[in-house]
Amino acid sequence: MVYQEGVTPTSGITLVNPDGTGNLPLLNDGFQNESPAVSPDGMRVAFISTKPGHLALYVMSSEGTSITLLAPQLSHAGEPSWSPDGTRIVFLASRQDSLGINSEVAIINADGSNFHYLTHNFDWDGSPSWSPDGSKILFTSQEGPDGIYVMDTTGANRVQIPGTTGFDQRAKWSPDGARIAFHSLRDGNWEIYSMLANGTDVQRLTTNAANDWDPAWSPDGSKIIFESDRSGGQFRLWTITAADGSNPSSPLGALAARPHWAREPR
């Protein structure tokens, strides 16, 4: 697993085994580094950093070397997600034009070429997640009815998932593409939920007075990891059984956020 260790204004990127052993800091350079996402082959990590004075998109090796800035023209970037073949990255990107300054979903090749926007709206679009079969992108939007949407990788055929609202955020595909995990305020508190990809069979997986955010699936789809401040108000990582939310466990003692459960390098 890879995660953001620490809180603003400085935070690092750390690699760890699912049981919490083998902590390996990949990046701790005095900047705010967040939202790590490991490539499908396990060899690269996309992440967001304030190195240039604002939140920007970077890629580095899984050993924390060969750090490369992508899309330097942007004033803000966030929430990267790799294509299943590891050639492209979809992410939140700022846009400034006649509509003003907006957050959009954008796409870029992993080498930094062929950047372009997939959305162009008056309101916020973000939190993209690439489908396991590579054909769709899941994202959250405040354009039109707020909620979770799906579109083609070209930005076409944008469709809202039925029943979702602006309370539903940070949606992630399960490894088999059958279900979607997300966090939501729909029941009055930030909790973790899952649903079928068509919006049916919504299941609440956590019930806690604290805030539970940012779900991510284990590679085999059996567990979900998320961040929660249920440990005395400090954010740490927790895992639950994906099917029913049972067996909650906190594998790390460190302050942690934005987890991504990666496959073993191949």
Task: Write out the residue range of the structural domain in which residue 93 sits.
Answer: 2-260
Strands in 223-231's sheet, in edge-to-edge order, are 212-217, 223-231, 234-241
- Is 190 within the bounds of a domain? yes
- Is 265 within the bounds of a domain? no
Distance, CA of 103 to CA of 119 (rounded, Å): 9
Between these two residues, 241 and 21, which has the higher pLDDT value?
Answer: 241
- Which pLDDT score is estimated for 141? 95
- Residue 226, pLDDT > 70, answer yes
- Residue 192, pLDDT > 60, answer yes
**Torsion angle of alpha carbons 214, 220, 223, 227, nearest 10°?**
-20
Number of domains in the chain: 1
Phi-psi category of 16—alpha, beta or left, where left has phi over 0 and alpha has psi -120 to 50? beta
The one-letter code for the residue type at 229 is: D
- pLDDT category of residue 264 using cuts at 50, 70 and 90: low
- Is 215 within the bounds of a domain? yes
Q: Dig out the tokens for 227 from the structure.
A: 């961040």
Bond prior to 9 in cis (omega within 30° of 0) = yes
- Residue 144, pLDDT > 90, answer no
Report, as an integer, the average pLDDT of 136-157.
95
Phi-psi category of 176—alpha, beta or left, where left has phi over 0 and alpha has psi -120 to 50? alpha
